Each structure stands twice: as C-alpha cells, then as structure tokens.
Amino acid sequence: MTQWGVFSLSQFPDQSKRVECFDNDLKFFELAETLGFDKAWIAEHLFSTYGVVTSTQVYAAAIAQRTKKLRIGIAVAAMPFNHPLRTASDFALVDVLSHGRLDFGVGRAYQPHEFVGLGVPMEKSREMTIEATDIVLKAWTEEKISYNGKFWTIPDPVEILPKPVQQPTPPVYTAVISPESFTFAAERGLNLQMASPFTYRTYRETWIAELEKSVKDFEALSRRSGRDPAKTKRMILLPFFCHEDRKKAREIYKPHVEWFYNKVTANQLTQKSAGPVKSYELTMSEGAKTRELGYLAFEKLDQYRAAVVGDPDECVAVLKEMKERFGLTEFGLWYNIGGIAPEHVERSMRLTAEKVIPRV
C-alpha cells in the first residue's frame, strides 16, 4: 500500500516572521495527520533562508510532541556535520520520544557555503557519510561500539543510550541522485530517497528516464549483493500543488517554486574554487547548465514534471506514471515551498486527500 507524506524545508524568506512561520509549519504537520497522511519529512540546512531548520533532531522532537500517529522522516541528516555518536544518540532519543515513529535518512549535504562555514572538507563528504552511517548503525545494534576509521576513532568501547525503540533500527534511507549514491544504497541495503528537484537539475528533460534507469541498476546490484530489491522502500520528493482550476494552480505555485529552484542552484554555485568540487562534478556542472539554459523557468519545470502542478485529474495521471516507472512505495509532497501562504497549502492538501490519494 502506498504511503503518503508531506515535506517541509521550512523556507521562510521573511525572517521577521520566523516565529509565526514555524508555528504555521507545525500546524501543517498536525493538519497532515488529521487528513490521514502517513509521514512528515523534514530537512536541515545552515546559513540561508533556503531552509532554516538547523537540526532535524530538534525539529523532529517538536513534531513528535505535536502529533500522535504521523511518522517522522529525516530527509536528511547531514552526516559529515556531526560526530556519528552524537547523531546516533540524538536520533535514538527522537525514536523514543515519538514511540517508534522515526524514519532516518542519511546524506552528505551539497551546499558549499555550509561546508565552508563548518570547516568540513566538502570533497571528503562521501567517504565521511559512509563511515558515519556505519558507526550509527553499529551504535544502534551493538551493546558497545569501538571504531578505528579515517575520520572518526572510538578507541574505548562506549554504549549508546538510549537505544531506538524500533529494532534492530528505525528504517534507514539515503538520498540518491548520482550512480554512486545508488551503489551505496544497494551495498548497504538502504531505502531510497529520490527527489525530482535534484535529479531534474542534473538531467533536465531526461530526468525521469535517467531516474528509472538508476532504479533498475539499483535493483540489479541489490540482487548481486544478495538482497531482494522488492523489499526496499522507495520514496520520491516532489514539489506539488493541486487546485480545482489547473490554470490557477500554476499561477499560485509559480513564484514560490521558481524561488526555490533558483535559490538552491545559487547556493550550490557559491564555492570559490575553480570548477566543481571533487565528487560533486556531475551535479554541480549540470546544475550550472540547467540554470544557464533556462530550465529553472516555471514553464520548463512544469513541462518536464520537475514540479507536479495541476487539477486533480492531471496530478493523478503524473503520480500514477511515476509510481509505476520508479516502483514507488511512498510520495513526499511538498506544498509549502518558498513561503507560499498557509491558506493555499491547506486547500491543496485537503483536495489531495479527497480527490488524488484515493485514485493513486
């Protein structure tokens, strides 16, 4: 059975309203639970209105106290930015506070100004993420852990407490865009967090076909690793807006989704070294081309379904196609993008629950 989630990046362009905006964000999650959505997905970022949740573990704990049934998905914890034992401890506590509602997502982050601000070597992020993920999983499943790694050393065995409620661990996802990230997921047996904004910025008009190919490659590699890919959870994050009038849907959503796409591309191009950062060559070089070629204009985003915007019939058709092509088990729908007004978000969520979800 398909699961339905809502996503928030907590994008508050006007920081003078930050208290009001966070209150609205939490009400958004409460409404999602009331309407029967299964999950809330959240993310963390630093030093930009692109996203002002600096710690998903803090925000997840707040959501846990405002909801009763809604699962809390992390999309993602930026693994190079914290000691893995702190990550393991904090998210185990979230799982306890939520009575076992945590879905844990790992990723390596992708915005140069965050790495510069924290003094973390961006070119080492993939290696750091792999090592940190291994430490977290060991900390959750072993009574005590010691570790001798390239980036983190735990010389004397330590016990991480509390242990998660969900055993042996909460469901673990990883963000996937590049071929290397799908390989990491297959080799570790992790669930998939796909996202149209990032795959589209890398592959533009062919993003759906490229993502479908990556999923098939993941399935083949999983089988070679002795795992059944049919057991993998597969989520996709989609900027999404549904309205009874398809023209009105586009008018309302256009400025907000364009703000997001331009913001993320500008943030990723702030690094001052010559050329793309090592291990980010594909996404950085292609992301720059995507902006230069005009693919961030709403008309292109709409044409190539990098954002799913329309009336219920239109939205149902697109979601059904993606579900079939990617083998999706869940959707993460992003309504409240780029500071869009809460009344538009609520109306769209109610319409989705009534006229889209039952048909997909």
In contact, 259 and 197? CB cutoff 8 Å: no
- Candidates 116, 74, 122; CA nearest to 95 is 74
Return the percentage of the chain with pLDDT > 90, whole number. 89
Whole-number Å distance between alpha carbons of 65 and 26: 10
The whole-number average pLDDT for the span 95-117 is: 96
Instruction: Name the packing angle between helices 125-141 and 84-97 (round to 10°).
Output: 50
Whole-number Å distance between alpha carbons of 256 and 317: 23
Q: Which domain holds residue 131?
A: 3-359
- Which CATH number do you get for residue 323? 3.20.20.30
For 137-167, what is each residue's pLDDT tens digit? 999 999 999 999 999 999 999 999 999 999 9
What is the number of other CB atoms lying within 10 angstroms of the CB of residue 19? 9
Residues 6+ apart with CB under 8 A from 164: 91, 92, 95, 96, 100, 102, 140, 170
The whole-number average pLDDT for the span 315-344 is: 97
| Number of domain units in the chain | 1
- Candidates 354, 254, 252; CA nearest to 34 is 354
Distance, CA of 20 to chain centre: 24
For 168-200, what is each residue's pLDDT tens digit? 999 999 999 999 999 999 999 999 999 999 999
- The Cα angle at residue 304 between residues 302 and 310, in degrees rounded to 5: 35
In contact, 328 and 236? CB cutoff 8 Å: yes
Signed CA dihedral, 156, 124, 222, 88: sign only: positive
Asked whether residue 57 carries a pLDDT value surpassing 70, the answer given is yes
Instruction: Determine the straight-line distance between the first and last CA of the chain, rounded to whole angstroms.
Output: 10
pLDDT in the model for residue 197: 95
Count of positions (residues) in the chain:
360
The whole-number average pLDDT for the span 294-314 is: 97
Which residues is 107 bridged to in the sheet? 78
In contact, 133 and 188? CB cutoff 8 Å: yes
Signed CA dihedral, 78, 82, 84, 89: sign only: negative
What is the number of other CB atoms lying within 10 angstroms of the CB of residue 170? 25
For 210-247, what is each residue's pLDDT tens digit? 999 999 999 999 999 999 999 999 999 999 999 999 99
pLDDT in the model for residue 183: 96
pLDDT in the model for residue 267: 67
Asked whether residue 272 carries a pLDDT value surpassing 60, the answer given is no
Asked whether residue 269 carries a pLDDT value surpassing 80, the answer given is no
For 120-138, what is each residue's pLDDT tens digit? 999 999 999 999 999 999 9
Whole-number Å distance between alpha carbons of 243 and 74: 28
Which residues is 1 bridged to in the sheet? none
Whole-number Å distance between alpha carbons of 53 and 45: 6
Residues 6+ apart with CB under 8 A from 335: 6, 28, 240, 241, 345, 348, 349
Asked whether residue 80 carries a pLDDT value surpassing 90, the answer given is yes
Whole-number Å distance between alpha carbons of 25 and 334: 12
Whole-number Å distance between alpha carbons of 179 and 349: 33
Residue 333: helix, strand or coil by DSSP? strand
Question: What's the mean per-residue pLDDT of the chain?
Answer: 95
pLDDT in the model for residue 83: 98
Q: What are phi and psi of 120, to 5 degrees?
A: -105, 135
Asked whether residue 12 carries a pLDDT value surpassing 90, the answer given is no
